[in-house]
Chains A and B, each alone.
Chain A
């Protein structure tokens, strides 16, 4: 596909087949780009913008030309530059870059403070995950039923005891103590952001899934009560959110089952590590873009039915549909039906004009970033 060209109105045939083709959501604060995604095609980085010019089509622009096409906010100018240097713009990479740019203060002090909190929380979740994995490993792998509690692990003496027990376990399994520690360390770095059973706090990822479940229920009730004009959109968004949550649950179940049976995971390490890494990546792609959708709904949750209808119509424009090749064969038909409903739903766009920055929308989108980290 030639860069900087508009696609014809999107149809099922044109729908992206893989997550990579769909692109990763970029947390721009420029109103016109609020649903934009980035993707890498060989050496060319592209920006995909849905909903421009009152069409359901997706416009594709060459990444380098964005500042000439749109009046970007200061944060987006910095974000645009930073993403340009990223060779693999995956959701996880974009999230890290966006947080780094926010730390610089380009989106104001609130977003900056939220970025600092996000980093601190991520470290805390990783540490907490290590504790729980250590507890679980001791519980499952020590032959004599030895246990250690989270409270004990937080003490100096508890740490020493855990270290000794893990060393004994390692030697019985023909492993060096360091290798066992490294495996736990690697797992906690991978899974800290996802969360594992036994962690007393829900990670942001699991909180997002919970908010999606709540939004699904609320939107179904909204549609059943016939509250506004966008009933079809409300049902569609609810259904896509519901189906996405089911796919997410399949992945979190993999994490949960494997970390519960941690002895098998640590023993068959090469396969286990690969499986966990792939699961974390898939989770990030499955949930990519949903935080903004859920926030958009939260913004209008206490507004009039008319405002809610407008937001729902807008939200339906960039429902993160799961590309066909990323689905199990038995799920393809179901998602195909959802895509069909989406693409036949012809509504006018509410996307604001692109000439100037929309300060209110910029502040609203910045508010989302600040709120997500609280």
Chain B
């Protein structure tokens, strides 16, 4: 067939190929992307900034890959001291060493409302002017401190501030921000002298730099030692080892405090516990949220697979924290750890483990491996079964630390047997059916769907055996 003889129906199918594919590919070259990002970032500061933010959010996957130069803004620079403490979600409850990202905008608005326009104007005009930015940072600390002082001295002012900030969590976050901003120079020094995160091991020069910063903090703001430790821990591969790091500093005389090293470390570790569990809850909430306003919320199966992937780090961290506190913590702190572990266990059990085998087998049955053999498997049902199987398999890696290993193994066993049973019934039907044409193709797709699921649950050997049996039922060979 030539171009000229191509049926018009085919031509119409590509009628909007440019728009369609370009949108999908987001094939923007470097220079163009840079231009778009600069325009949108400039618009972020304007009253219509919400639209620009939404557009930047849409571009985020592309930005991660292409990494265009981001415009340094005063707001971004002011957040730098506490960026390691920013968390998504967590919009209610007490905050320890963490700041909900949602607190930034109301705090920024409060600052703009009360700030000296000259001071912020100079830093805003030229974010590269270090002196101007440092002055703005000091000014920011003064204003936040004044607002907090007023709030605690006068109940009405406190209530008004709470309303302005949009809730108690944001109000409490002000103090955490203030703590970080007060030692901003030390935090910046710490970040510059430590290796890139995650830090697996501290070399002597890093310990030296850490001790120097902690000693400085001890002099200027002794109540903010924990803030500095939060920054260090957020950069460590195994944050629960902070006690060992501090002990090394104390043993070599580089950092000593009358408050006692183990108290610092234990308090910082317990402070992180809530963050860890809230972090997993936030991941769960994020996984369950629709990707866009016009899109449906992800299924329970998608949520399970995402949670299973992300919960692993929190579980490992919790186990490490427990080990550290068993050596140096109090009974009360250990109870905190156990409470956090129970919450995490419940999250994993409810969303991943409980009923997993049943859900997998049910999804397989819904894919059409039953009476309606003449039709190809439903891809959505197959995908759901696969996601649940992936979630279960992922959770097996850390189930022992949550005392869920027995439940996970049991679900894996039952799911494997369930898929085996569905497959056997399918093969019997295939043998009876003497399938031809499209029915035969559909049967082949069902066999492959079963084999794929078996691979995830029980490995490729079993999957191949199942595939061979299925093909034999059709009179074929692999």
Q: Is B48 an interface residue (CB 8 A)?
A: no
Q: Is B315 an interface residue (CB 8 A)?
A: no
Q: How far is the CA of A215 from the CA of B66 in the complex (A)?
A: 7
Also in contact, A166 and B4, with CB within 8 A (given A81-B478, A201-B17): yes
Assess the B452–A306 pair: CB atoms within 8 A.
no
Chain A residues with CB under 8 A of B393: 359
Q: Is B41 an interface residue (CB 8 A)?
A: no
Nearest-neighbour CB distance to chain B for A188, whole angstroms, equals 7
Q: How far is the CA of A359 from the CA of B460 in the complex (A)?
A: 10
Q: Is B155 an interface residue (CB 8 A)?
A: no
Q: How far is the CA of A359 from the CA of B453 in the complex (A)?
A: 12
Q: How far is the CA of A112 from the CA of B367 in the complex (A)?
A: 15
A90-131 near B? 1/0 per residue, CB < 8 Å: 000000000000001111111011000000010010011011
| Interface majority SS (helix, strand, loop, mixed), chain A | helix
Q: How many residues of A contact B (CB 8 A)?
A: 63
Chain A residues with CB under 8 A of B10: 127
Q: Is B15 an interface residue (CB 8 A)?
A: yes
Q: Is B434 an interface residue (CB 8 A)?
A: no
Assess the B25–A207 pair: CB atoms within 8 A.
yes
Also in contact, A73 and B460, with CB within 8 A (given A108-B452, A305-B197, A306-B200): yes
Assess the A74–B197 pair: CB atoms within 8 A.
no
Assess the A304–B4 pair: CB atoms within 8 A.
no
Interface segment, one of A155-163, A256-264, A317-325, A333-341: A155-163
Assess the A77–B390 pair: CB atoms within 8 A.
no
Which residues of chain B from 1 to 26 have a CB within 8 Å of any chain A CB? Answer: 1-6, 8, 10-15, 17-18, 21-22, 24-25
Find the B residue at minimum CB distance from A163.
B4
Q: How far is the CA of A18 from the CA of B67 in the complex (A)?
A: 35
Also in contact, A74 and B3, with CB within 8 A (given A200-B18, A202-B25): no
Q: Is A133 an interface residue (CB 8 A)?
A: yes
Cβ contact of B14, chosen from A71, A109, A128, A298, cutoff 8 A? A128
Chain B residues with CB under 8 A of A154: 11-12, 14-15
Assess the A74–B452 pair: CB atoms within 8 A.
yes
Q: How far is the CA of A127 from the CA of B456 in the complex (A)?
A: 39
Q: Is B379 an interface residue (CB 8 A)?
A: yes
Assess the B460–A357 pair: CB atoms within 8 A.
yes
Q: Is A210 an interface residue (CB 8 A)?
A: yes
Cβ contact of B196, chosen from A121, A130, A228, cutoff 8 A? A228
Q: Is A275 an interface residue (CB 8 A)?
A: no
Q: Is B294 an interface residue (CB 8 A)?
A: no
Interface segment, one of B85-93, B318-326, B410-418, B442-450: B442-450
Q: How far is the CA of A106 from the CA of B463 in the complex (A)?
A: 10
Find the A residue at minimum CB distance from B199.
A306
Assess the A201–B18 pair: CB atoms within 8 A.
yes
Nearest-neighbour CB distance to chain B for A32, whole angstroms, equals 13
Q: Is A301 an interface residue (CB 8 A)?
A: yes
Find the B residue at minimum CB distance from A156.
B8
Assess the B3–A112 pair: CB atoms within 8 A.
no
Assess the A210–B27 pair: CB atoms within 8 A.
yes
Q: Is B455 an interface residue (CB 8 A)?
A: yes
Q: Is B362 an interface residue (CB 8 A)?
A: no
Also in contact, A131 and B3, with CB within 8 A (given A73-B455, A106-B451, A210-B29): yes
Interface segment, one of A9-17, A44-52, A58-66, A178-186: A178-186
Q: How far is the CA of A202 from the CA of B30 in the complex (A)?
A: 14
Assess the B21–A301 pair: CB atoms within 8 A.
no
Also in contact, A359 and B456, with CB within 8 A (given A128-B14, A162-B4): yes
Chain B residues with CB under 8 A of A108: 382-383, 386, 452
Chain B residues with CB under 8 A of A109: 379, 382-383, 386, 449
Q: How far is the CA of A183 from the CA of B383 in the complex (A)?
A: 44
Find the B residue at minimum CB distance from A305.
B196
Q: Is A84 an interface residue (CB 8 A)?
A: no
Chain A residues with CB under 8 A of B197: 304-306
Q: How far is the CA of A214 from the CA of B67 in the complex (A)?
A: 8
Nearest-neighbour CB distance to chain A for B471, whole angstroms, equals 11
Q: Is B83 an interface residue (CB 8 A)?
A: no
Find the A residue at minimum CB distance from B22.
A201
Chain A residues with CB under 8 A of B30: 213-214, 217
Chain A residues with CB under 8 A of B451: 74, 106
Q: Is B467 an interface residue (CB 8 A)?
A: yes
Assess the A74–B200 pair: CB atoms within 8 A.
no
Q: Is A271 an interface residue (CB 8 A)?
A: no
Chain A residues with CB under 8 A of B198: 304, 306
Assess the B22–A200 pair: CB atoms within 8 A.
yes
Size category of the B interface is: 35 or more
Which residues of chain A from 158 to 205 have a CB within 8 Å of any chain B CB? Answer: 159, 162-163, 166, 178, 181-182, 184-185, 188, 200-202
Q: Is B459 an interface residue (CB 8 A)?
A: yes
Chain B residues with CB under 8 A of A306: 196-198, 200, 237
Q: How far is the CA of A185 from the CA of B22 in the complex (A)?
A: 24
Find the A residue at minimum CB distance from B312.
A360
Assess the B460–A72 pair: CB atoms within 8 A.
yes
Find the B residue at minimum CB distance from A30.
B460
Cβ contact of A374, chosen from B8, B24, B386, B456, cutoff 8 A? B24
Chain A residues with CB under 8 A of B15: 154
Q: How far is the CA of A131 from the CA of B390 in the complex (A)?
A: 45
Q: Is A316 an interface residue (CB 8 A)?
A: no
Q: Is A86 an interface residue (CB 8 A)?
A: no
Q: How far is the CA of A189 from the CA of B467 in the complex (A)?
A: 36
Also in contact, A218 and B2, with CB within 8 A (given A127-B10, A207-B25): no
Q: Is B65 an interface residue (CB 8 A)?
A: yes
Find the B residue at minimum CB distance from A213.
B30
Find the B residue at minimum CB distance from A294.
B65
Assess the A363–B390 pair: CB atoms within 8 A.
yes
Assess the A181–B2 pair: CB atoms within 8 A.
yes
Q: How far is the CA of A178 from the CA of B2 in the complex (A)?
A: 9
A326-368 near B? 1/0 per residue, CB < 8 Å: 0000000000000000000000000000001101100100000
Also in contact, A121 and B452, with CB within 8 A (given A202-B27, A227-B196, A301-B64): no
Cβ contact of B17, chosen from A128, A221, A374, cutoff 8 A? A128
B61-105 near A? 1/0 per residue, CB < 8 Å: 000111100000000000000000000000000000000000000
Assess the A113–B452 pair: CB atoms within 8 A.
no
Q: Is B420 an interface residue (CB 8 A)?
A: no
Assess the A184–B2 pair: CB atoms within 8 A.
yes
Q: Is A144 an interface residue (CB 8 A)?
A: no
Q: Is A311 an interface residue (CB 8 A)?
A: no
Q: How far is the CA of A7 from the CA of B18 in the complex (A)?
A: 48
Q: Is B346 an interface residue (CB 8 A)?
A: no
Find the B residue at minimum CB distance from A221.
B67
Chain B residues with CB under 8 A of A207: 25, 27
Which A residues form the contact surface with B (CB < 8 A)?
Answer: 71-74, 77, 81, 104-110, 112-113, 121, 124, 127-128, 130-131, 133-134, 153-156, 159, 162-163, 166, 178, 181-182, 184-185, 188, 200-202, 207, 210-211, 213-215, 217-218, 221, 227-228, 298, 301-302, 304-306, 356-357, 359-360, 363, 374
Show 27 A/B contacts (Cβ-Cβ < 8 Å), sorted by A. Answer: A74-B463, A77-B460, A104-B445, A105-B448, A106-B452, A109-B379, A112-B379, A124-B14, A127-B6, A131-B3, A154-B14, A154-B15, A181-B5, A182-B2, A185-B1, A200-B18, A210-B27, A213-B30, A221-B67, A227-B196, A298-B64, A301-B67, A304-B197, A306-B196, A306-B198, A357-B460, A363-B390
Given contacts A77-B464, A306-B196, A357-B459, 12 further A-B contacts (CB under 8 A): A74-B463, A109-B449, A124-B14, A127-B3, A131-B3, A154-B12, A201-B18, A201-B25, A213-B30, A214-B65, A218-B66, A363-B390
